[in-house]
Structure 1
């Protein structure tokens, strides 16, 4: 059967869901952790059943359960024969945000779990005398006082939260209304002050510029193609020119070699020419002597003879 956990155990539970960190939005700062805590407290108060304060159990400052103090109270002796009082939790409180979830890795024989169950279940209450009821009514319940403080705090933050909401709404109004007006004015200007003829002319100029750009790009492509072809032709011409230079150098070297040979031959002939002239002169003189001796030779025959000698030279 399900057990109803005391309210102060719920508040101190380590399994309480961690609220988000505080956020800062513009000039407004909201502590979401405190707001979530108060909202959970308020929901817990709404869902918690109205239990009798006579059966609520709190812990004493020295760690002893209050049920034992009541059983061995200041006014009555212990009555062990009375049955134990237990309170069953309603079905709608099973999913309370303050409940501690069951740990699947802890067994039912765990000493810590048994100690918790014994603290919740092993208490008794005596109903046989009127003084017990009076003592219970006079005692203060720390859970009730804590609950009242939380309710007061929740009531106190109601007005600041409402004021904060109004301030945020006012800020949104001050931000969105000028923007909406500006957008409306811009739409009005676009509808009334736009020159259609001017826009048509700009569109026509844009189309012409695009066509001219296409023509220029086409010419540029052709120029690139022709430039590549001219570069290839120039490379071929430079190759041919280099071959022509090589041939010219080879012909020039051959010409120089031939000129040197011919000049050597000419120099040799010139060096031999005086001796040949001396020999020729000697032969002519010898012939003239022979002619002088020959008396029967006429002057014409001498002239022919001289011409023949000169032709030989």
Structure 2
């Protein structure tokens, strides 16, 4: 009996020892030191911002350097200017394509010599330029009143004065909008014959008449096209200029198509560059079929061909 009890006690003790070895305490602390971790790595190098590219200064390019009286100065500005000053007077500059344009007309009676141009910008140095203007050589012809018109030289001049007064009123309005987005073109194609140039002086009896446009020698019925987009300011019959179409291109730029045989548009029409406005003829005070084209900028008559070629 004593032997059996002692054996039982030994078995129980051995079992408890096995349990103690196999199940470690819940809060047992390991005596083995931890492996080093990557949390102690060196900090990343500081990234410096890239330097900003230096903005190039604004530029002002004169597109037509040789200017005569009766012509137009075109200046292209790379940035929008705060102001543009020409001979002490402010001139408007308007967006055109990817730049800005200043358009400065010179009447035939403009003082020749050196003129001053300047432009100021927000973030660029101001620009100053000098412009040399020379006198246009004006051709003089003798132009007696055609008998079929039934008017004396003085009557012709008086009637011209009335018609020109009406024209000045029509083109006096300057809207600060640009109705065109492309260069100007000639109204009768690139191949043409000029029968009377801009600035020609016509001696009619005792009177002198200055020709403030260009006469294209074209047959009756030749299609006449708009030199650029715009709005028909007026389409009417004038006693001197006959069937007349006046197009407003915005920014004070007007084109006039006179002595037409017939008109294809009416006042208020919106027209596109190259659109047919009418057909050449000999209406009004005219002795032969032709197209008279005038361009007026801020009320100033300028050479139409020079303006169209300069505003490229």
* TM-score (norm. length: structure 2): 0.16
Larger Rg: 1
Query: Greater strand share, 1 or 2?
Result: 2
* TM-score (norm. length: structure 1): 0.16
